[in-house]
Structures are given as structure tokens and as C-alpha cells.
Copies of this chain bind each other. A is one copy, B any other.
Amino acid sequence: MPKVIRVNMTDLSVRIEEAPAAWAGLGGRALTSTVVAAEVPPTCHPLGPNNKLVFAPGLLSGTAAGNAGRMSAGAKSPLTGTIKESNAGGTCGRMLGRLDIKAIIIEGQPASTDAWYNIRISNEGVVVEPETETVGLNNFAVLESVARRYGEDKGVITIGSAGENLMLISNISTRDPEGKLRSFGRGGLGAVMGSKRVKFITIDQDGTRPVPLVDSAAFKAANMVFTKALKDHPVSGQGLPTYGTAVLVNILHEIGGLPTRNFTSGQCEHHDMISGEHMYDTIVARGGEPTHGCSLGCVIQCSQVYNDKDGKYLTSGFEYETIWAFGADCLIDNLDLIAECDNVMDDLGVDSIETPVMFGVAMEAGILKFGDGKEVLRLLREEIGKATPLGRVLGGGTALVGKTYGVARVPVVKGQGIPAYDPRSVKGIGVTYATTTQGADHTAGYAVATNVLNVGGKVDPLSNVGQVELSRNLQIATAAIDSTGLCLFIAFPALDIAECLPATVDMLNARFGTKLTMDDVVGLGKTVLKLEHEFNLAAGIGPEQDRLPEFFELEAIAPHNVKWDMDQKELATFWNF
């Protein structure tokens, strides 16, 4: 029977339970959101004892399915006040799948803030112990310490100093197959882990066996169809493996949707210097790896290893949104500096979207100058890293910096920074930002695919027509995909190649012996969105907050001279399903 591990940090007790039968068809986001919605009071303080931090591998985690290496973390977010799911690659999802652990639920909170703890999970059971060695250390040092103390092959889930300091930009990091970091990035979940006084969790898969499949031949056949689709699609098979997600820099610049200088223009003069093409050339010239995976079994390989001028490792998982935010939104025209920032952010354990979007507002507030990448590095290391008063302000994220400095042009929805696609010139993604249960989150319903990349058809990015429906369909599909452990990027072939999505359903059925249909999968996505929405409504986040900040309605953006002009009543129809 699948297990659920509950660790109560109030009394340091552990319960290993059989997973309820009702959770059989749930994994990843579907499960984290189900637990949070059922067990966390929507109006609780996110950093208080009543919040819960839930980790759940996807339904396909641990199998040989292509790109099934994602795992979800969920809680009430201290950044947004909403329910939150954030997923990451790395090795833990696979290991939890093999351990037959459906969820780890961290509850309660020690009364004293004197001590920290680690949690170690293996086939033998669960150990909770006081932790001292890594307290105050950042992520790379934690990984080293864990490898030395418990072995190099352990899965690790950890927070850096930002999470310890309960910063709202803090994330939760996890070890990837090569000992680097992947992140549950958004929503300040690192602060939730910090509020539980858990410094790290290790997962040990020793003694486990491969995940059983009810029909292994059918699984293998479906997986072949699926991985072929991933390789055949131009985005997942060519664009992403070659240039990584930064392939989007030039594309978004071209269509005028690359928010620049804290969202005051849609194009950036020095786009060439921060483009995926430039990154590719740089990586190749320095002996890095342009094509690289975040987890075992990844077919798309959108990650990379980016070395510095001396050929020394600088960063990996160097994403478009991070490069955009520092490169265009903060006007830093030096990719090496941005890569160094990415490395430092990984080490501190801060969201590499929220953090640079915050810096755009900090620049507008006059805390530093637009384009000053060296000062960003100093602020990351010396202020955020040391939790000085200024570091704590910056560590509070985009909305908090705006409030602290009285800035009115603050790109957030529900307190979370808006990513790399201007909603005025890519209106479909604006609908997603406004309506998703997660606060501004492009991954919740990536309408850029259909607005800009012509994946899954074509909807004019500058027109409001059809955007609500587009975003709704994508958000439903995403909620389902996020529940399987599959990487969201499978959506590109899934939208264009007819046999791709049915193959994922076939894999689920072959894994569990179920008879799920495509309708069931869509139904799961709808169920997840609705329960997340109900949580938010009960938390006091109503339809009036399903909106973009006012400045998008007041300020037209170059080059199309467009404002955000979607009617709120039309937006509200999003929930008609």
C-alpha cells in the first residue's frame, strides 16, 4: 500500500499511514492541493503552526516514463496568501515513487525557535533529528554536508539562508542527478519550511525495487509513442534542447512582449546579448553543455551547463525567465553576470523569477541603478545573504519592495511577481496571470504557446478574443499534467501531436491497471483548479483580486502601443466550467 508520511514538528512525532483510498488517483499537484485544501485553514498565518508543507511525487514518478521527474510541493503561500503548488526536477520524485510514498506532510511548528531539525526518510522509516552543522549555510554547502554525512546518492530537499530567515522570495531546493540544484521556486515555500524549523530532508532509496507496472508491455509501448512525440515536436525536440528556454528572448523581443525596464517597454535594445542563441555560442565556446536534463529520464533536456570565462562551472537550469528579468527588466546586458546571479540565487535559495522581478522594482525605487549587475550581486550576497534590513526588504519580494518604497508600478498579481511575458502584448498570458489560483504564474496556463509560438493553433496575442477560453483549457490541462510528475514542456507536443496525450493516459493505465480516459484527465484538472479556487475564496482572495495591477491599464507599451483592456466581467467567466 502506498504510504503517507506525517511529520509533526510541534512534538517531533512521525506517523506513517496508509494512503487513503480516495487519494489513489492523485499525485503531484492534485495531491498537494487536496491535502492543503482539506487540512489547512484557509485563513491561517502561512508561517504559523496551522500551515502544512506537503511534498508529493507525481503519478508516474519512479517509472521509466519520459520526462516524469517532476515532484510537487504545496502549502498556503506566505507570498500570495493563496494555495500554492510549485514543482521541481531532481532525484527525489523518482525515489519517493520507488519508496511508494505518496506524500510527505510536515505539520505543526516547534514552540521554540532555538533548534533546527533534519528529516531522513528511507525504506527503514523516518528519523527526525536536531540539526546544527548546516544551520546558517547555503544550499551548495548543505549538499556537501549531506553527501559527506549520508552519502552522495541521497535525494535532498533543503532551504538556504533565505528560507531560514523566512524570506518571502525563498524557495525549496532539491538535488539533481549531478549534485546541482533544482528548485520548487515560487511562492516563498522556503519560508514555510523554515517556519517548521526543517533545514533539510534526505531521501534514501536503498533497498527499493523498481516501481511495479500492472501492464509493463503496454507501458513501454505508450512510453515509446510519448517520447517520440517529445522528440518530433520542433519546440521540445529542437528549440529547447539547443537553446534552452532562453530561445524565447529574441522571439518575445520580436513580438514586443519582452517586458523591459520594469515593464515600461516591450522590447529591449540589447536582446542579442541575452539571447538563447548567444548563450548557446557562449556555452559551446567554453566547453559547457548546451543540452542537459534536470532529472533522470528527461528526453527534452532544456537545461544546460554554463561555464565562466575560465571554463569553470557557473550555473545550470539557467532559465529564460531569469535571463529576461535580469537582462531586459533590469537592463543588465551581461550574460555572465546574470549567470553568476543565478548561481548565487541557487545557493541562497531564492526564487529566480521573484528575485529579479523584485530587483526591477528596486531599481525603479532608486535602491540601485538599472543595469547595475554588480550591485545586484552585492545585494544578493551581502544584504539578502546576510539578512540585513535592506536584504530583508529585498527578500520580501516584488510587492513588499513596492510597498516599502511607495512604488506604484509594481508587476504582481496576488503578491507574486509577473514573469517574462507582457500581458499587454500577449493577452492570453495576462488572463492566466489574473485568474490562476497561484498568483502571477506563466506555467499555470502557458498561453504564450498559442499566442506566440503557434503551438496548439493560433490566437492573436493582441486581441482579447478567445484568450479566456485558451487560458482556461491550458490551466485545466496544466493542473492535470502537474499531477503526473511529467514536465510541463510535454504540453508542446501534447498540443500539436495527436497521439502524445493519449500515450500519457495509456501509461497511467498501464501503471495502475485503471481505465482512465482523456476525459478523466481533463476532469482531474478541473477538480484541482476548483478545489484550489475554493481555498483561495475561503482565504479572502475573491474575484476582485483576479486582476492585473492598475498600471497595465494606464500605461501603453511599445512597440504596439497597447494597454491591458480585458473586461473584468469577461475575466470572471474563466471560472465557468
Contacts and interface: CB of A to CB of B under 8 A. Distances in A.
A554 interface: yes
A216 B313 CA distance: 87
A515 B89 CA distance: 74
B554 A49 contact: yes
A539 B544 contact: yes
Given A45-B551, A48-B551, A551-B45, A393 B389 contact: yes
B392 A165 contact: no
B403 A168 contact: yes
B44 A550 contact: yes
A538 B542 CA distance: 10
A495 interface: no
* Residue in A44, A406, A540 with the greatest tally of chain B CB atoms within 10 Å: A406
A284 to B, nearest CB: 42
Given A390-B389, A549-B45, A550-B48, A403 B400 contact: yes
Interface string A401-434: 0011111101000000000000000000000000
Contacts of A282: none
Given A195-B406, A400-B403, A392 B393 contact: yes
Interface in A529-546: 537-545
A408 B550 contact: no
Interface string A551-566: 1001000000000000
A547 interface: yes
A539 B543 CA distance: 10
A167 interface: yes
Contacts of A408: 45, 47-48, 195
A400 B406 contact: no
Interface string A152-171: 00000000000001111000
A485 interface: no
Contact of A43 (B166, B392, B404, B550): B550
Contact of A166 (B45, B191, B392, B405): B405
A555 to B, nearest CB: 10
B165 A406 contact: yes
B49 A406 contact: no
A404 B170 CA distance: 12
A49 B550 CA distance: 10
Interface string A187-199: 0000100110000
A257 interface: no
Contacts of A395: 404
Contact of A389 (B49, B78, B389): B389
A207 to B, nearest CB: 38
A406 B44 CA distance: 14
Nearest to A387: B405
A272 B165 CA distance: 38
Nearest to A400: B403
A541 to B, nearest CB: 8
Contacts of A41: 550
A110 to B, nearest CB: 13
A509 interface: no
Interface string A380-402: 00000000111011011000100
Contacts of A554: 48-50
Contacts of A195: 406, 408
Contacts of A542: 540, 542, 544
B400 A194 contact: no
Given A538-B544, A540-B545, A550-B50, A167 B406 contact: yes
Contacts of A547: 43
A396 B403 contact: yes
Contact of A393 (B47, B165, B194, B404): B404
B43 A544 contact: yes
A328 B44 CA distance: 27
A166 B390 CA distance: 17
Nearest to A544: B540
A168 B525 CA distance: 41
A392 B166 CA distance: 19
Interface in A327-371: 367
Contacts of A49: 554
Given A78-B403, A400-B404, 14 more contacts: A43-B547, A45-B408, A45-B551, A47-B408, A78-B406, A166-B405, A367-B389, A389-B389, A390-B390, A396-B404, A400-B403, A404-B404, A540-B543, A540-B544
Interface of A: 41-45, 47-50, 78, 165-168, 191, 194-195, 367, 388-390, 392-393, 395-396, 400, 403-408, 410, 537-545, 547, 549-551, 554
- Sorted nearest first, the 5 A-B pairs with minimum C-beta distance are A166-B406, A540-B544, A389-B390, A48-B408, A540-B545
20 contacts: A42-B544, A43-B547, A44-B550, A45-B410, A45-B549, A45-B551, A47-B407, A48-B408, A50-B550, A78-B403, A78-B406, A165-B406, A389-B390, A389-B393, A392-B393, A396-B404, A538-B544, A540-B542, A540-B543, A540-B544
